[in-house]
Amino acid sequence: MGSTRVAVLGGGITGLTVHRRLIENGAESTLYEAQAVPGGLARSRITRGYVFDQCGGHIFNSRSQAVLDWVFRLLPRESWTFQPRLAKILLEGTLVDYPLELSLHQLDVDTQVECLVDLASRQGGADAADLEEWFIRSFGETLARLYLIPYNSKVWRFPLARMEHQWVSDKMPQPSLGEIFRALVTRSSRESKMPHSTFYYPTAGGSQALVDAIAGGLPGIRTSNAVMSLRRHGVQWTVNDQESYETVISTVPLKELFRALVDVPGEVARAVGDLRYNSITSTLVEHDLGPSISWIYLPGPETVCNKVSNVGRFSPRSCPDGSPTSMLVDTIGRHDAGSVRDDVRKLFPIGDVIDHHVTEYAYVVFDLDHRRNVGVVLEYLGRLGIPCVGRFAEWQYYNMDVCIGRALEAADAVLAR
């Protein structure tokens, strides 16, 4: 690509991956990261010897062999702890295996029958008008009302009848009727189609270990350097009125990118303003869910928190020797540590709060205007020649492995010019 200079905006997993791919292939790339430590949603820190993933426990696996190969080249497979997922759902005080449709044998007989009748006559969600209807058409009224609707109402904090459903099909298992009957007859809840039915977790350092492996040894990473202005001068872009680049790749949230742009058309500005998202509060506490449980979904109204993860069991080095193990509490929205502690104690006899963090941009909310608004925004940025890649740069619900794959593709597209 000659001497083209590239500015990569944002130093999360996506931006770091773009930057490394460019540097390794001879490009001149500079990465701008607002925080003092790179990593974005994948940042971790060590508190009192405990690993704390600041935005939820980031497990890793992928359907993409290219992504697996790239990650394990940087952080070798032997640096990871590999384990099967054993997720649970807390339903009215009883732990039931996830996914629920393969665990009907753990419910009372009347509920099993109602679920099977619904599932046998389900219509499929392709033609659903919204997310609530998609759950009902895809899984039946009983399962939808028992778990899917209350849990997702907690997570999204937005009316499901005002959310689109097109994004969700790859995010959750959808067993066939034959698989459901087989699970009922064999009394086995084993589900292996989703990539995270097994997962990797860094043995030491939490998800920050992967961040550090990607960033390690790379020149041109400028931390504590937020992009405050992005101006076009002919064929070049000037970042923060200081340095100019022929190419800009953005991995920062769209709302933050547009704070740096000038002369944005009104229609585009309105579309950016209408993009919805949720923040998340992550709280690490002393507690042990047991050696086999990976995490527990909490659909019930008795707590505000929606999920607890057994991160102290993700790796033998997640907790200091001789200390209680740890549990990570996910709560949508912004909450102080004390309120989270009091909330989760309604369900679990937890010990001390170890650490606490609020992440502003955590989950994209797919309201019914999502596709139109994102289309308007990305079409405008495409005309400007700014490719956007990553969860909040594309305003999509991408897992870490998808972000890495998208980043590799974006970097390769620039290299091919």
3-class DSSP assignment, residue 303: coil
- In order along its 417 residues, the chain shows pLDDT tens digits of 456 899 999 999 999 999 999 999 999 999 999 999 999 999 999 999 999 999 988 899 999 999 999 999 999 999 999 999 999 999 999 999 999 999 999 999 999 999 999 988 887 888 999 999 999 999 999 999 999 999 999 999 999 999 999 999 777 778 888 889 889 999 887 765 655 689 999 999 999 999 999 999 999 999 999 999 999 998 999 999 999 999 999 999 999 999 999 999 999 999 999 999 999 999 999 999 998 899 999 999 999 999 999 999 999 999 999 999 999 999 999 999 999 999 999 999 999 999 999 999 999 999 999 999 999 999 999 999 999 999 999 999 999 999 999 999 999 999 998
**How far apart are the C-alpha atoms of 388 and 249, rounded to whole Å?**
6
CA dihedral 197, 139, 162, 279 (to 10 degrees): -20
Strand (E) or helix (H) holding 137: helix 131-139
Does an H or E element contain 248, and which? Answer: strand 247-250
Residue 293's identity, in one-letter code, is I
Q: Provide the Cα torsion 399, 394, 369, 359; round to 10°.
A: 60
- Cα(338)–Cα(40) distance, integer angstroms: 25
Which residue, among 179, 157, 154, 168, has the nearest Cα to 125 in the 3D structure?
168
The residues spanned by each domain of the chain are 5-43+64-73+207-275+368-415, 111-186
Distances (CA, A) of 374 to 44, 265, 366: 30, 15, 10
CATH superfamily, domain 5-43+64-73+207-275+368-415, is: FAD/NAD(P)-binding domain (3.50.50.60)
* Chain centroid, CA 296 distance in Å: 17
- In the numeric block, the tokens 């003092």 are attached to 36
